[in-house]
Amino acid sequence: MRAADEGDAAAMRRLLTADSRLQPKHLEQDLRTFTGKGARRLYLGDDWAVATVAGARPSGRTAYAAALRLVDGRWRVDLSLKVRIRILGPDPGSTVGPMPQVAAEITAPDPLAESGLWVDGIPLQVKGGGTPRHGTIYGAPTFDLMPGQHTAVAYARTAQNGTAVAWMFKVRG
């Protein structure tokens, strides 16, 4: 975030994996539009992680997530777009009951190695199915969510590439 705040494109490029397709300028624009001190969480695995930020934008509250890979002792953001995630539910911005099912569809050119779902930083027990390169994962919190805004995160990776998607939904009061 510091590199984005400072507009340091060279520093941002060093934070990306070699095959990332998104230009640092676009990442900077995406991250700099968050205002206030949004929550930042980091979910760690062996050599993969997921970072999220949630906060206000001129268009309303929203969230952003990225998959990070440990390369040569440094965490690098993977923006290769080789692994794709499509949100199945709850719809971004929707209002749902206190125990929503969270689901995502995953596609990749290579066999999937890992996937996960979180709500407000809490991992969900995930079930799923499909083929090695195309599948669906889903899960629900094991407790009622409080009324208000919540952040969901979906993550998936192959041996070489990964992606993460974050979105917000509301639980009715």
Q: Which residues of 12-29 are buried (b: 16+ CB within 10 A; e: fewer)?
A: beebbbeebeeebeebbe
Of 39-53, 100-114, 138-152, give the lowest mean pLDDT range: 39-53
pTM over 0.85: no
Whether the CB-CB separation of 122 and 87 falls below 8 Å is answered with no
Question: Which residue pairs, CB below 8 angstroms and at least 24 apart, start in 51-57?
Answer: 51/77, 51/164, 52/121, 52/151, 52/153, 52/164, 52/166, 53/1, 54/151, 54/166, 54/168, 57/33
3-class DSSP state for residue 71?
strand
pLDDT attached to residue 146: 97
* pLDDT of 26 higher than 80: no
> What is the CATH T-level fold of the domain 2-171, as seen in this structure?
Immunoglobulin-like (2.60.40)
Summarised one tens digit per residue, pLDDT across range 37-74 is 454 566 777 899 898 887 765 666 678 898 989 888 88
* pLDDT of 123 higher than 70: yes
- Higher-confidence residue of 18 and 137: namely 137
